[in-house]
A and B are shown apart, each in its own frame.
Chain A
Amino acid sequence: MAFFENTKTAIRTLLSRPATILYPVQPAKKTPLSRGHVTIDESRCISCGICQRKCPSQAISINKEAKIWQIDRLRCVVCNSCVDSCPVKCLFMDTQYSSPVTARSIEIINITYVKPPKPENKDEAAV
């Protein structure tokens, strides 16, 4: 006969603090690797379009002429593959989730990167 098998756990739970946290008063647990949402440093993006090609859910699109980088947050599956493949490392993974929305929308970000002018003479550049 086995009764009161759960007593040990019950007593321990009574004497310890709650296992849950008081969210949102206390922030949710996050680790440095946590995948929350993708952010971009628009001043460094060279509009190469690799993130758009690597995106498995086709959430990112980029317009080279208009210099626009846009993302549909509700399509994004936060897989980190754009961040891994960005050649200039201008994409980052934020640990916090993107904020809730009431309607579907596309976030549009204007790219402010300006290509540095090529030095006219190679010898001058060396000097």
Chain B
Amino acid sequence: MTKQIIVPFGPQHPVLPEPIHLDLVLEDERVVDAIPSIGYIHRGFEKLVEKREYTEYVYIAERTCGICSFVHGATFCQGIEQIMNIDIPERAQFLRVIWSEYSRLHSHLLWLGLFADSFGFENLFMNAWRIRERILDVMEQTTGGRVIQGSCKIGGVRKDISNEKLDEMRRDLDSIESEIKDLTSVFLQDDSIKHRLRNVGKLSKEDAYHLGAVGPTARGSGVAIDLRKTGYGAYGKLNFQLVTDSCGDCYGRCAVRAKELFTSIDFIRQSIQKIPDGPIDVKVTGAPNGEFFARAEQPRGELVHYLKGNGTKFLVRSRIRTPTLTNIPPLVRMLQGCELADVPVIVLSIDPCISCTER
């Protein structure tokens, strides 16, 4: 029997954007097991909910993540609105969809760049981030913030987008789409990339389902789950084709995210076409009394905000379950049996967002 050795991977590693620690149990160059541990950037967000008024907590909820910040804020607002039975105006719902989808575009482009960097394709990384910069510019023009938008509030949204600006955004999307097409064709067609990603980090459909994979990690293994199909917010009024891939390897997960970019663009186009005129917020009085599980589809998968209020301005409990947390058990399964040199690519293939995970 070969001697087993343990190689620590992270929390500081050139390929990791954020700290996660994995103890890799190796037999020669082959990984037989991986033991993950988190806890390097815990910030106590769930406790802070008792110290801040629920209307102010939107800003804090949004800062859970630096990439999908808008979706966190919107999900928190959704939860409070459900507890307090607030019907937000339709225009606000559509604006939330537009910003959520822009967040998805920017998150997926960021990930494609980091992923390219992880398998040593630095030029592609720069190209992806150049397109992402155009998305961030639109975010800043419409909300005032590049990554922390701060445009969501309980009862609607804080900022409106004028119809002229919406038209301009729609025109801009055409050129962004053609640039994204050029970018994704490299990811999906290039032989050297295919060679690097095919059959690396295999996750079968059954494993993905039973280990609780969510988002593109699950869809890359052929599990067709997407919360946008449930039609929360304004998603019910828009139609889209769910992107799945049956490969179940790193290439499959990459393909799902690359194709989802076009789904997001399609969502934004439809929303701009269907957005009605009208108010963007309603006045909110009182305090939440009750509990609710608010769920939304983040760029990385299903996000859950559990909120409980007792009729005062301070909530008594908040629990945030982020998609990366549920994607860690599938990650451990993917790592079993892979080569040590493939570990960075596999870890990045689930799009880990550790700051989110630790709240």
Q: Which residues from chain A sit less than 8 Å from chain B, CB to CB?
A: 1-3, 5-6, 8-10, 19, 29, 31, 33-35, 54, 56-57, 77-81, 84, 93
Contact = CB atoms under 8 A, between A and B. Distances in A.
Contacts of B144: 31, 33-35, 80, 93
Given A6-B123, A35-B144, A81-B59, A19 B130 contact: yes
Interface stretch (B184-192, B285-293, B330-338): B184-192
Given A5-B190, A33-B142, A84 B158 contact: yes
Of A10, A54, A80, A93, the most chain B CB neighbours within 10 A belong to A80
Nearest to A93: B144
Interface stretch (B28-36, B133-141, B169-177, B265-273): B133-141
Question: Chain B interface mostly helix, strand, loop or mixed?
Answer: helix
Interface in B32-67: 52, 56-57, 59-60, 63
A31 B87 CA distance: 32
Q: Which 6 A-B pairs have the closest CB atoms?
A: A33-B144, A56-B56, A2-B189, A5-B186, A35-B144, A56-B59
Contacts of A54: 56
Contacts of A56: 52, 56-57, 59-60
A92 to B, nearest CB: 13
Contacts of B63: 77
A5 B59 contact: no
Interface of B: 52, 56-57, 59-60, 63, 123-124, 127, 130, 133, 137, 140-145, 148, 150, 158-159, 182-183, 185-186, 189-191
Contacts of B148: 77
Contact of B127 (A9, A77, A79, A81): A9
A10 B143 CA distance: 33
A28 to B, nearest CB: 11
B124 A1 contact: no
Contacts, number: 60
Of A5, A80, A84, the most chain B CB neighbours within 10 A belong to A5
Contacts of B59: 56-57, 77, 79, 81
Nearest to A19: B130
Nearest to B58: A56
A56 B45 CA distance: 13
Question: Chain A interface mostly helix, strand, loop or mixed?
Answer: loop
Contacts of B158: 80, 84
B133 A19 contact: yes
Contacts of B183: 9
A81 to B, nearest CB: 7
Given A2-B190, A3-B190, A19-B133, A35 B56 contact: no
A6 B124 contact: yes
B60 A5 contact: no
B191 A2 contact: yes
A48 B137 CA distance: 36
Given A2-B190, A6-B124, A31 B141 contact: yes
A75 to B, nearest CB: 13
B191 A3 contact: yes
A57 B133 CA distance: 29
A35 B143 CA distance: 9
B137 A29 contact: yes
Given A10-B123, A56-B57, A80-B144, 14 more contacts: A2-B189, A3-B190, A3-B191, A5-B186, A5-B190, A6-B186, A8-B182, A9-B186, A31-B144, A33-B142, A35-B145, A35-B150, A80-B158, A84-B158
B140 A33 contact: yes
A125 to B, nearest CB: 34
Contacts of B191: 1-3
B327 to A, nearest CB: 29
Contacts of B123: 6, 10
A25 B93 CA distance: 41
Contacts of B52: 56
A80 B185 CA distance: 41
B56 A81 contact: yes
A9 B130 CA distance: 12
Nearest to A4: B190
Contacts of A19: 130, 133
